[in-house]
Amino acid sequence: MKTLFGCGTAMHTRRGQSALWRWWFYYRPYKDLFGATHYAFNNDGHDNLPTENFIQKHPGEQQPIPPLAEDLLTMIYWQNTLGRSGLYAYPGFWRSVLVLAQIAKAQEFDRLIFVEWDFFIISETMMREIGSTTTGLMTYWVPKYNLPESAFIFCGRDQLETLEQTCLHVLSLKQLGKEHGAEFIIPWTDVRKHRVGDRYPEHLQSIPLDADYCAQVPISKAIHKHELIPLVSEKCLRCGTTLAFNRAGLLACPVCSPTCEKTILD
């Protein structure tokens, strides 16, 4: 089964850089549990593009996107930055989902698994559950707000057209309200509530021991044994620059690196 595993980020910001590498080094080892065969991310802009030889770069304006390679991380980047302009106006997110859905559709993927950089799937049983799902437009539940979680989107081949058209519709709108939030407007066929998870960092300092997933994990923290752990000093002790995850998966100073490199947990 051909499965595209992806996310969206913005490499022109330090948070976007750090978010991508944290996402990549966290999820890459679990590829077999998810059944992921290809990896890709949409970059909201064109500045500070990575130069690693395992990243395959394609400008989004040049269509169609060439076939994705199994052994590479594919990046789609754009000349313009859409970003986020309001509570319910986040075109950067919609373009990320749209681009990956279009790639999955055009290149005949069986499944698309979209996982935002701040959404952490903790339990391997949940990973296997996702890996065994084949159809539908599915997500999990946010108990705190009683709504579907838009930071995770599973889309089978049977729903790729629906997801694509939803993204195109939202991106065409001039005014956006609550009803246009991703949680509400995506026509989910399956919202699963049997897993334990929530946007815990918004209201707790720890995660329940039986949690399967956690959303809204800030870039300044990591999950370690169901605890939200602050990542060493958030400032470089030498120059005061905010630390960020680098391309080696280490937390380091973007200015002094590699002299200030430290492992993720102090």
How far is residue 228's CA from residue 266's CA, in Å, rounded to a whole number? 13
How far is residue 118's CA from residue 228's CA, in Å, rounded to a whole number? 13
Q: 29-85: per-residue pLDDT in tens?
A: 999 999 999 999 999 999 988 888 899 999 999 999 999 999 899 999 999 999 888
Checking if the pLDDT of 265 tops 50, the result is: no
**pLDDT for 260:** 40
**pLDDT for 121:** 97
Name residues whose C-beta falls within 8 Å of residue 29's C-beta, 6 or more positions apart in sequence.
none
pLDDT band for 266, please (50, 70, 90 cuts): very low
**pLDDT for 189:** 98
pLDDT band for 250, please (50, 70, 90 cuts): low
Checking if the pLDDT of 231 tops 80, the result is: no
Gyration radius (Cα) of the chain, Å: 18
Checking if the pLDDT of 115 tops 50, the result is: yes
CATH architecture of the region 3-196: Alpha-Beta Complex (3.90)
How far is residue 195's CA from residue 142's CA, in Å, rounded to a whole number? 10
How far is residue 169's CA from residue 143's CA, in Å, rounded to a whole number? 28
> Residue ranges of the domains in the chain?
3-196, 233-266
- Out of 4-13, 52-61, 84-93, least confident range: 84-93
Q: 233-248: per-residue pLDDT in tens?
A: 567 778 878 777 777 6
Distance of CA 95 to CAs 27, 61, 150, 238, Å?
Answer: 22, 12, 14, 39
Q: 196-225: per-residue pLDDT in tens?
A: 999 999 988 889 999 999 999 998 888 877
Q: What is the mean pLDDT of the chain?
A: 90
